[in-house]
Amino acid sequence: MSSLVTPKRIPKFYRGNAACPGCPIPKELDVLLEVLGNKTVLVVPASCTTIIMGDTSGMPSTVPVIHSAFGAPAAIASGIVRALRTRGDKDVIVTVWAGDGSTGDIGFASLSGAAERNEDILYVCYDNEAYMNTGIQRSSLTPKGAWTTTTPEGKREFKKPLPFIIAEHKVPYVATASIAYIYDYEAKVRKAKQIRGFKYLHLLSPCPPGWRFDSKFTIDIAKLAVETGVWPLFEIENGEFRLTSVSKTLLDKKNRKPVTEYLKLQGRFKQLTEEEIKGIQEEIDEMWEEIKKLIKK
Amino acid sequence: MQVLKRKTLALVGNHAVAYAVKQSKPQVLAVFPITPQTTMLEKISEYIASEELKAELIKVESEHSALASIYGAALAGARVFTATSSQGLLYMTEMIYWAGGQRIPIVAAVATRAIAEPWSIWDDHQDFLSKRDAIWVQMMAENVQEAYDMTIQAFRISEDERVILPVMMGFDGFILTHTMERIEVLEDGEVDNFLPPRQFNLIDFSDPIGVGPIATPEDYIKYRYEAMKAMVRAKGVIEEVMNEYERISGRKQNGLVECYKCEDAKYVFVTMGAWSGDGKVAVDRLRNAGIEAGLLKIRVFRPFPKEKIEEYLRSMKGVIVLDRAYSYGSGGILANEIKATLYGYRVPVYSVIAGIGGKDVRPRHFQKVIEDLINDNLEEERWLL
Ligand SMILES: Cc1ncc(C[n+]2csc(CCOP(=O)(O)OP(=O)(O)O)c2C)c(N)n1
Ligand code: SF4
């Protein structure tokens, strides 16, 4: 039985932080810390979370938070874990908590370096699919077709497939997750906690102001991303690919909801033509054909 | 003072610094290859592979990550070290400011080298001096012996609770990194006594804090004010540490500045780094020719030893500052500092820019400028092209 459902549980990540209404980050952090426990160090690069973490007068976190330069979190985490190891502190989970811009763009070299060295860290990318902290500019993880302030006509390029790129580094564990499927997310964090070496977790994080939706829809959108097949839930453990949770049922196309259900709730896709939406649907279907090939019979 | 028979070694500068690092026992290091620092990194890798130095060497993918990773290691309680040069130092720059702003004890050796464009692997001080506002203690060695001594001292200074600042030890690329000299080294045990285990760790699970959060304008300026005061305190600590090192090593350390025949001099060169040696040769020759020349060597550039400089230079008839780095649109960097220090005194200060991009400078060049000065023939700023 998960402690999450106990109403009296004290949140590890306190209410009263500086997130926007409807932002999933506080809840995502709460789940993370609940599973990881108090011997966790969070490394947080420049992002929305920097602000959420409060200022010099205090912070909402129950564990140490090390703020990081935008491009450096995986390197800072590497240093922390090495230092703790030389001091004999072996049970501390050093965790990077980074946005998609830090992860896929400016910090990509340091992330790839740490993955290649198989540093004993957990790297969590919360993916709100743009640079939200600086006001919704595109990142390499913004999906094709999405409006941002720097792609007013809709982004023309594909979303960088980061979980697969990291998996190509042959790290022990890579997984995707969603705040709408908390038990799946929790299970993956729990698994990552047990594994030595580099663990990568990629969370899709719907962002009300950035994606242009009413803040009451955060969880609905997170859920639809999974149900339409836009955001498959999977894990790659020692090279073995496995779908998890409801995504297991989505290999069959007829179980997947049409992508319009996901797109229509978000203002960032409102300029898409029927033709473009059709294109997006086709790309999702193609992705699932690829996923089929990844699954060992 | 009883002078012990010291162990002497013949080492190139990079290996002398690596040796000092090994004796200082950092627990976490990260370095990325760049000429002319690379052979130091190789030597350190050998020490770690052979377990002569028991430490974690993080084989990072860039200098930015090199400094970032030891930044993390240092705040988690490890003694740390890195080394770089030129483009590498520039690539680290963001993290250099982070380390200074957060006041993390870190020691970095900088084999000074000109900055592209155009490419140059040769020595000048443009890289080192470009970091003058990053809240780091900056020292500059004259020879391989000083590079060795200063490296060990750097750890002590950096970790002193009155200071807690990162320290950069500069030494001239190729001129020192690749030149073999006979140096005296301390015994391992002596270094152990000189460098007690590090007492610094910002990660505390019983009282977790946020390191480096966003600061309100009210707070930010206070952080910087504290950093300013730490730099002021560092002056005294550096002298104290060097004096203690002088006692155990039996070698004169000279503190913040070294005065070479400048007490009774009328004309003085101000230098920093390896060419101070050439300057001293020039001073001797000028003295033989009856000219009252001297040389003031800046050993510590940050904190800038204004008081000492003022004391030595305020009554000179002429001061010639030799600069290997220039602030374009303003002037020689060291010269500007000296002029500011001597503000209010009627001391003429001349700026000579030389050795940029490794251009050869010899004692005769020093002699020539002082002779020109005496003959009233030296312009306020001269480039030795
Ligand atoms: C070197 C550097 N360049 C630019 C910035 C400005 N900056 C701060 S946060 C940010 C975007 C962060 O985007 P992301 O990583 O996706 O996190 P999010 O804000 O979406 O949470 C940028 C560009 C910076 N802090 N450092
Ligand atoms: S902009 Fe988006 S990701 Fe950032 S705090 Fe607001 S809701 Fe959260």
pLDDT tens for A237-263 read 999 999 999 999 999 999 999 999 999
What pLDDT was estimated at residue B328?
A: 98
Nearest to A143 by CA among A47, A210, A51, A45: A210
Mean pLDDT, rounded, for B249-256: 94
Mean pLDDT, rounded, for B19-35: 97
Q: What is the DSSP string of B207-225?
A: S--EES-B--HHHHHHHHH
CA of B258 to the centre of ligand 2 (A): 56
Mean pLDDT, rounded, for B42-49: 97
Mean pLDDT, rounded, for B186-190: 97
Residue A5 clears pLDDT 50, i.e. is over it = no
Q: Predicted ipTM?
A: 0.95
The beta-carbon neighbor of B212 closest among A66, A71, A86 is A66
The beta-carbon neighbor of A78 closest among B27, B69, B204 is B69
- Is the CB of residue B30 less than 8 Å away from at least one CB of chain A? yes
| CB of residue A19 inside a 6 A radius of ligand 2 | yes
Residue A9 clears pLDDT 80, i.e. is over it = no
| CB of residue A132 inside a 6 A radius of ligand 1 | yes
Nearest to A126 by CA among A177, A55, A91, A88: A177
Ligand closest in space to the Cα of B68: 1
Look at A160 and A89; give whichever has higher pLDDT.
A160
Residue B210 clears pLDDT 50, i.e. is over it = yes
CA distance B288 to chain A (A): 56
Mark which residues 133-162 of B lie under 8 Å from A by CB: none
Pairing between strand B267-271 and A122-127? unpaired
> Would you call B354 helix, strand, or coil by DSSP?
coil
- Is the CB of residue B211 less than 8 Å away from at least one CB of chain A? yes
| CB of residue A208 inside a 6 A radius of ligand 2 | yes
Among B31, B48, B61, the strongest candidate for a mutation testing the A interface, having the largest count of A CBs within 10 A, is B61
CA distance A93 to A161: 26
What is the per-residue pLDDT across B83-117, written as a single tens digit (0 to 9) for each? 999 999 999 999 999 999 999 999 999 999 999 99
CA of B88 to the centre of ligand 2 (A): 35
- Model confidence at A166, pLDDT cuts 50, 70, 90, reads very high
Percent of chain B with pLDDT strictly greater than 70: 99
Closest ligand 1 atom to residue B94 Cα is 1
Ligand closest in space to the Cα of A179: 2
Q: What ranges in A40-181 are assigned the alpha helix state H?
A: 48-52, 73-86, 100-101, 108-116, 162-167
- Model confidence at A13, pLDDT cuts 50, 70, 90, reads confident
Residue A8 clears pLDDT 60, i.e. is over it = no
Mean pLDDT, chain B, rounded, equals 97
| CB of residue A210 inside a 6 A radius of ligand 2 | yes
What pLDDT was estimated at residue A1?
A: 36
What is the per-residue pLDDT across A24-70, written as a single tens digit (0 to 9) for each? 999 999 999 999 999 999 999 999 999 999 998 889 999 999 999 99
Question: Which residue of chain A has the CA closest to B28?
Answer: A83
Residue B354 clears pLDDT 90, i.e. is over it = yes
Question: Contacts of residue B208 in chain A, CB cutoff 8 Å?
Answer: 61-65
What pLDDT was estimated at residue B102?
A: 96
Residue A6 clears pLDDT 90, i.e. is over it = no
- 8 Å CB contact of A55 and B70: no
**Poorest-pLDDT segment among A2-16, A193-207, A255-269, B347-361:** A2-16
What pLDDT was estimated at residue B3?
A: 54
| CB of residue A243 inside a 6 A radius of ligand 2 | no
Question: Which residue of chain A has the CA closest to B56?
Answer: A82
Mean pLDDT, rounded, for B23-31: 97
Mean pLDDT, chain A, rounded, equals 95
Ligand closest in space to the Cα of A97: 1
CA distance B380 to B272: 19
Give the list of residues 6+ apart from residue B315 with CB closer than 8 angstroms, or none: B345, B347
For the stretch A114-141, what's the b/e string if a residue is b when 16 or more beta carbons lie within 10 angstroms of its beta carbon?
A: bbebebbbbbbbbbbbbbbbeebbbbbb
- Is the CB of residue A84 less than 8 Å away from at least one CB of chain B? yes
Sign of the CA dihedral with B340 first, then B342, B346, and B350 last: negative
Burial label for A209, CB within 10 Å (0-12, 13-18, 19+), is middle
- Is the CB of residue B333 less than 8 Å away from at least one CB of chain A? no
CA distance A168 to A171: 8
What is the per-residue pLDDT across A80-97, written as a single tens digit (0 to 9) for each? 999 999 999 889 999 999
Nearest to A49 by CA among A132, A114, A110, A130: A132
What pLDDT was estimated at residue A2?
A: 41
Residue B265 clears pLDDT 80, i.e. is over it = yes
